[in-house]
Amino acid sequence: MIIGGQTNEVNVRVIAVLLLISWAALTHGNASPVSASPPGANGKIAFDSNREAYRAIHVMDPDGSNVRRLTFDGVGESGQPAWSPDGTKIAFDTNREPLHFQVWVMNADGSDQHRLSLGQGNNASPSWSPDGREIAFDSDSDGNYEIYAIGSDGTNQRNLTRNAASDTFPSWSPDGAHIAFQSNRSGNYDIWIMNADGTSPRDLTPDSTSEWDPEWSPDGTRIAFSSHTGGQDGQSGLQVIDVDGEHRTQISYDNDGSPSWSPDGSQITFSRGVGGVTKIYSMNADGSDVRLLADGGSLTADASWQPLTCTVSGVADGDTFDCAGGRHVRMLGIDAPKPGDCGGDWAKAALENIFLPTGRSVRLVYGGHLRDDAGFDIASPIWRGDDGTDYNLSVVLTYVGLARAAADGNVLFANWLQDAEGWARAAGWNMWAPDGPFNGGVNC
């Protein structure tokens, strides 16, 4: 690979610019956010409902329109849908095979429905790992309810909790490191958190009331759940708590459960039971602006938001790109130089030629706000590489930026340079000199 030589003065400027990019990635320096609106057309909501006399899985748009049924069992019930991280599949539980509930998986359009879990007990409440490789669920196969995990290909089913108490309703953290669940191992039901391998469980809500239905926020900092604490007339309400147990906040009071966060973290859907009928509602994450989304039959519940995806249609500069369908994305945590500025042409070329070429499909992960004041979505593009690893390209761009500094003589980042060159070689592109001797805007 050709590494263009630079003068010492230019080297200093390059390193300074790229370290500034790195600092922006760590401090999430983007344009000021504005209030979020519901995600776009591919951010659908899956839910279960008995509106057709038996409980089945449905999908709808984020505003409650365009409801469509996906499962047509005719016998038994299907419920508790959970979207895969790439938004292409839905896991759910069903007792269509007699006697027991099992975890099944289907495509987002309802095709290719197949059983995943094993054993003769009830297996339910699926939750995907963020890399899509595993699904956690609860099971009474060993005589009492425990948290299990299984590969999304149906292999390696295993018990994670191995506790005499009842452990149910797992929720995998966005970083893949932890699983939240409800357990009565302290006497009443509390929200617990454990490592993804089942070790180091800790009680997040150690009090005398009951809490259940944990759900991680998209940024991994908070958990929403149901609780009798603060509920009116003995009813349950929804609360939110930081993952360190601080800042516990009541956000609803009216017999509410099954919270589910929108992809950008601005909204929460939930189930509300009134007079023996359960319906799905949505509200802002602070509990304001409650609105009905779906009803029908006696039970409409268990909403799950589809993660947002993007097929890249073009790159605008070193930190913004366009998606097919018209969405414009500003990369979360990146403030790269603009084309024409020092390093800006190189940053844009790196996106176009390696990380975000036209046609690449990425998953969009939000950090608390959907759009900035220019109308751009603020999100990190997550790309699954050929090695099966999920790469956060906001982080990778900074990584490669520091590799650029290494190419200009900064030995602190030499190991990063080797990896970055490997990615460029695999892409068949000279990342420092796409058109010959390096001309990516650094000679300024």
Residue 270: which CATH number? 2.120.10.30
State the Cα–Cα distance between residues 213 and 227, nearest whole angstrom. Answer: 9
Burial (CB count <10 Å: 0-12, 13-18, 19+), residue 164: exposed
CA-closest candidate to residue 105, choices 121, 95, 116: 116
Same domain, 175 and 289: yes
Sign of CA dihedral 200, 206, 208, 213: negative
- Could you read off the pLDDT of 330-346 as tens digits, one per residue? 998 777 778 877 667 77
| The domain boundary residue, chosen from 283, 306, 329 | 306
Q: What is the extent of the structural domain holding 249?
A: 45-306
Q: What angle do CA 199, 203, 208 make, to 5 degrees?
A: 155
Amino acid at 30: N
| Measured distance CA(281)–CA(293) in Å, rounded | 5
Handedness of CA 303, 307, 313, 319 (dihedral sign): positive
Whether residues 240 and 341 share a domain: the answer is no
216 and 201 in a common domain = yes
Domain for residue 389, yes or no?
A: yes
- pLDDT for the residue numbered 214: 97
Share of the chain above pLDDT 90, in %: 49
Length of the chain: 444
Residue 39 lies in a domain: no
Task: Say yes or no: 289 and 404 in one domain.
Answer: no
Q: What is the per-residue pLDDT for 29?
A: 34
| Dihedral (Cα; 347, 349, 353, 355), 10-degree rounding | 20
Of 282, 306, 330, the residue that ends a domain is 306
Whether residues 265 and 333 share a domain: the answer is no
Please work out, in degrees rounded to the nearest 5, the angle formed at the alpha carbon of residue 86 by the alpha carbons of 292 and 215: 50
Burial of 437 (0-12, 13-18, 19+ CB in 10 A): exposed
Using CA atoms, how far apart are residues 213 and 191, in angstroms rounded to an integer?
Answer: 8
Distance of CA 72 to the CA centre of its chain: 28
For tokens 């516990």, what's the residue? Answer: 248
110 in Cβ contact with 95 (< 8 Å): no
The predicted structure's pLDDT at residue 409: 56
For 258-292, give the DSSP string.
EEEE-TTSSEEEEEEEETTEEEEEEEETTS-S-EE
Domain boundary among 306, 327, 357: 306
Low-confidence ranges of the chain (pLDDT < 70): 1-42, 73, 98, 229-235, 342-343, 367-369, 398-444
Asked if residue 160 is part of any domain, the answer here is yes
Whether residue 185 sits in one domain with residue 281? yes
- HSE-CB of 108 using CA atoms within 13 angstroms: 17
Do 89 and 18 lie in a common domain? no
Flag whether 125 is in a domain. yes
Distance, in Å, from the CA atom of 27 to the CA atom of 209, rounded to the nearest integer, reads 38
The answer to whether residues 291 and 350 belong to one domain is no
186-207 per-position pLDDT tens digit: 889 999 999 999 999 999 999 8
In a domain, 332, yes or no: yes
Instruction: Give the integer Cα–Cα distance in Å for 246 and 204.
Output: 9
pTM score of the predicted model: 0.78
Give which of 425, 339, 329, 421 is closest to 382, Cα–Cα. Answer: 329
Q: By the 8 A CB rule, do 250 and 230 touch?
A: yes
**Residue 410: CATH number of its domain:** 2.40.50
Are 148 and 98 contained in the same domain?
A: yes
Please answer whether residues 442 and 346 qualify as being in contact, where contact means their C-beta atoms are separated by less than 8 angstroms.
Answer: yes
Query: How many separate domains does the chain show?
Result: 2
Residues facing 183 on adjacent strands: 167, 190
- Does 339 fall in a domain? yes
The DSSP secondary-structure symbol of 27 reads H
Domain identity same for 300 and 321: no
Q: What is the pLDDT of residue 271?
A: 95
pLDDT for residue 110: 95
Any domain includes 239 = yes
Report whether 298 contacts 277 (CB < 8 A): yes
- If asked whether residues 244 and 314 sit together in one domain, one would say no
The answer to whether position 440 is within a domain reads no
Cβ–Cβ < 8 Å for 113, 70: no
Same domain, 218 and 336: no
